[in-house]
Structure 1
């Protein structure tokens, strides 16, 4: 009996470090830190780390709804 090799989909992680977010967005870490300080990017504190809350950011983007 052959096993089916379904593609492995990485799990969605609802948070991301500032460093990784900067890499993926193409912005510098300093720019990301400025956005956080101004409240443009939602963050949560996990232990001693502050991470970007991607779930809340996604909801905010969808609610803005300026699609034209």
Structure 2
């Protein structure tokens, strides 16, 4: 029973985009690993950009610096 956990920053991702992520991730494990899509679970967590760090900076500050 594959469990796929996707974390993204909470920045206006639509239901349609999430549905595509879920379908795409499921199809990937079906195609690559031969897993049953009926037992494949996908969870999407949306994290506030202030709570996500890159290179020692919160995402908003990281982006301000043009990185």
On whether the aligned pair clears a TM of 0.5, the verdict is no
Structure ranking higher on relative contact order (CA contacts 8 Å, 6+ apart) = 2
Q: Which has the higher strand share?
A: 2
When Rg is computed on C-alpha atoms for both structures, the one with the higher figure is 1
TM-score by length of 2: 0.25
TM-score by length of 1: 0.25
